[in-house]
Structure 1
């Protein structure tokens, strides 16, 4: 919940000019990308601690804040913890409202450190700031924001908070998102679907506009979207949201099930990295991998993982490395299968079906 270098939150310009503070003035009260700390083990040691200046819509969690405030077994014991989480709950709701486009999708995040260096942002950013923090198109890392999956991940938590509490602001946020996402879910004649996979943003809040740049059948994004729609429908009585939720789950069950679980066929150009050379920190160093592969200046990623060549599908990869087309495989990811299992269970819990 604190700036990376514990500088004042809001209008923090100039890494030398923006002051560090020792009280809550360095708190943005949002769930940022992380916090880190460490120190040495020697007698003349040191220690350090860092917050994070970047706050992404995808990591906010109203349900966690609500639980920490209202469940006795979870309530933190810090002197100001309850006050801090109450503040955070309100600030998270405000961030969703600030980042939500008129279409309904959420846009990126905010940062207290423009260009990650406390630079002076353009005037238009100052005119559209969030508690003096600046809008950030690419919070955290460059390819985080375009992925659609973060949308249902966070909308699911807003919908759960609405389901638990009936909070009107959470309802309004979820309602706008649900209307947008339903309009972007396409079902074909046999019942299968496509949903957005990638997004593009233009403009600053409150005038940010989202454009769909890719579509697909991602199992996790679809199952999490279905779960969001289910929680919203259960509290609001929205029959369309409930119907679309069920259609998504039925399609995943009918068209994306394998003997191992649930999967999508994906094409991988990343196998081209198999021939990348290994980095050796010491010149002329050599060694032996546990399986007997030799490690030396001629080693590649693949040469020290020779067991890959025993995979029954290796021939497809080898043809690609020899200049052929990139191979495609049905991909079973544990977290995607777990998410779908949760969504199926939630639908049954909410509607007894």
Structure 2
């Protein structure tokens, strides 16, 4: 690979005259021609120009070479004086960029080493085909057990294998990841038997509650529900009525004791969150997705969530065996994102045929992912009291990547019989961290040649591209981070708020600081900022040097979003003494007291006052003002940092964002110029990314991968009550009682056999600071993200071997 040292020569201010200056390379310990190419010439600055670059070819390999230096020296200026006439380039010797390739390979090998335990189940037909959330078992952070797998895990695995293919042209692991997705995450025909689904009546409205104690809730057959405009087209395109989306949570080892519709007892589809905004992961009752009444109560686990007959005579339906799955759309988005880059990498290497099969699968997944762009019950966006009709079915499309999409149906009484009912729903709430404008671009008409097969898919994704970028701009705080999101169904009940947010909406949708998840608030984790905006940086990199009308149109908008966030992030990232670092970890979007003109007039469910938007936006306002880099559309959406610290996964994700942003800016010729709104440069992003990667490797690498000791004061919540209504009485498959007074651990007694349980037990008995348990976790996604960041550093900055003068 060709490598160059790039020197930037800058005037202190623009001149009205033509300025010239001579330059020449001067050897030091590095000598031409073996270390660099002797270079000389004259730079000419036309009136108004302030910056020029000099590119010097350097040795293509540092293998076996010492660190050496040479300089570029300026002389003989005309109509200017020289303030600093020498720039130094350091050839690093046997390290720097190539070390990132080494780290990728080391982590890749560690993740695939069976003894390290990253894949399960340990035996059987599916042995070691599903990546665990982490090899360790006793953990609760959405997945409530380490040997569960989430669709997020699969999405990072696809990215890891895409980069493996890019670096070695070995696509076998990439094919294996996709095979696992189809075999384990996307329910098979046996696990989603389709039948009498009616797209004209896709679901029955079920109101949501604020607290678990509000459940079970009563279905309302009289509430308006719109039409599903995707079903017929998808069935025609792909020849069946099944969904091609991933269920979000899998019990890999089958530790709970449930089973799938095909009888499988490992790789079992399960769910936990199902009861309102404030249901913590410590308050859930984990239940099977294939609900055939084998476990729980006489009617399985359904009476925890829904009021049906015969327990509730006033209900419109009887309890019946059913299956239901839920997709977390940002996982599908990340899969498609990584598949697109695999497509590009393979094509560049002349190996496009190696990924052609997976290309088709990724496009298909993107086709079905459109369900996440619709209101939960297909009601009109902004006029949610009415259902969308067959005359205008896309009135229910908000074009944003929402929190989930869900589907299910009846389990037939006999194997092979056709179900008599089914449902499909989207979600009314869209979180900023789930947005994926990059895949919208890839799959849009004219957006990179990755359009799915369905006739309408390209146009819908094109509309989504614009709407997603608009929402991120509408939600950007003056500080830089992006506020929570929007909802077409306030509190999940299509209510109209009265606390002030009703006066400033986004295409009629209400602002919410924490979409869907309030314990803890879903937008307080800095990682969601990085996850979401990494996809915006991904798109900026894709369009950085494109000349199409679409690329030219969206590029400055992406820059406006990212520039403000990048400046804030660089201001808040600290490289600490001792070789570590500190990044924001917990953010706040609220005030403890009302702030006139900025916050809600009433406290929210958590008893605090949300900062609220001031701009009502439906796309008809002034685009010039909306996209001005000097303004923020909603200046009262304030963000503050509550806590900072070390999170290895977030540091890796941030590094990847910084690398792609820096490379995009470099392609636009803005690598060393100040980012608008601050004094930082894209080169600073590259430097910080390297520091984060280097410090993580130095301090937190062990024989399995990357880990650090974590204090888990939140593990007092193992004793939290898991609300069970008085009308319910049943047992978990292992016999644990599900009844009033049950706790998280009492219905998961198998965890008490875990070797790490004694320290949690001691903490529950004496919850004092000195008893806080500590754990070291090797989260799969964090390992994969770090490896991908190293691969990106090697791939994009393999030519940057010296200091930029």
TM-score, normalised to structure 1, is: 0.87
Q: Secondary structure at the match of 1:55?
A: strand
Q: Which has the higher helix share?
A: 1
* In 1, Cα distance between equivalents of 2:732 and 2:707: 40
Deviation at 1:112, TM superposition (A): 0.7
Residue of structure 2 equivalent to 1:40? 410
CA distances 1:103-157 after superposition (whole Å, capped 9, x unpaired): 1100000011122212122373233211111111110111211111100101111
Residue of structure 1 equivalent to 2:441? 66
Residue of structure 2 equivalent to 1:201? 589
1:348 matches 2:724: no
Residue of structure 1 equivalent to 2:703? 259
One of 532, 545, 555 as aligned partner of 1:154? 532
Residue of structure 2 equivalent to 1:80? 456
Q: Say which one has the larger Rg.
A: 2
1:98 matches 2:486: no
Cα contact 2:487–2:512 (8 A) shared by 1: yes
* In 2, Cα distance between equivalents of 1:19 and 1:251: 54
Q: Secondary structure at the match of 1:168?
A: helix
One of 566, 569, 594 as aligned partner of 1:178? 566
Alpha carbons of structure 1 residues 252 and 110: separation in structure 2 relative to 1, 3 Å: same
Please give the root-mean-square deviation of Cα atoms over the aligned residues, in Å. Answer: 2.7
Deviation at 1:296, TM superposition (A): 6.7
* In 1, Cα distance between equivalents of 2:508 and 2:705: 47
Deviation at 1:351, TM superposition (A): 0.4
Q: Secondary structure at the match of 2:583?
A: strand
Q: Secondary structure at the match of 1:116?
A: coil
Tell me which moved more, 33-42 or 330-339. Answer: 33-42
TM-score, normalised to structure 2, is: 0.40
Residue of structure 2 equivalent to 1:316? 759
1:18 matches 2:386: yes
Alpha carbons of structure 1 residues 247 and 304: separation in structure 2 relative to 1, 3 Å: closer
- Consecutive unaligned residues of structure 2, counting only runs of 5 or more, are 1-372, 413-417, 545-554, 591-610, 614-633, 666-670, 672-681
* In 2, Cα distance between equivalents of 1:239 and 1:149: 23
Alpha carbons of structure 1 residues 81 and 295: separation in structure 2 relative to 1, 3 Å: closer
1:246 matches 2:621: no
CA distances 1:246-281 after superposition (whole Å, capped 9, x unpaired): 1111111112222221112212245546567998x7
Alpha carbons of structure 1 residues 186 and 78: separation in structure 2 relative to 1, 3 Å: same
Residue of structure 2 equivalent to 1:221? 650
One of 306, 311, 334 as aligned partner of 2:780? 334
One of 130, 140, 154 as aligned partner of 2:506? 130
Give the number of the structure with larger relative contact order, counting CA–CA contacts within 8 Å between residues 6 or more apart: 2
- Consecutive unaligned residues of structure 1, counting only runs of 5 or more, are none
* In 2, Cα distance between equivalents of 1:314 and 1:286: 20
* In 2, Cα distance between equivalents of 1:54 and 1:275: 31
Cα contact 1:201–1:210 (8 A) shared by 2: yes
Residue of structure 2 equivalent to 1:5? 377
Q: Secondary structure at the match of 2:787?
A: helix
User: Aligned runs of 1:278-317 on 2, under 5 Å?
Assistant: 289=734, 300-301=746-747, 303-305=749-751, 307-308=753-754, 311=755, 315-317=758-760
Aligned residue-pair number: 339
Cα contact 2:409–2:419 (8 A) shared by 1: no
* In 1, Cα distance between equivalents of 2:721 and 2:560: 53
* In 2, Cα distance between equivalents of 1:41 and 1:50: 18
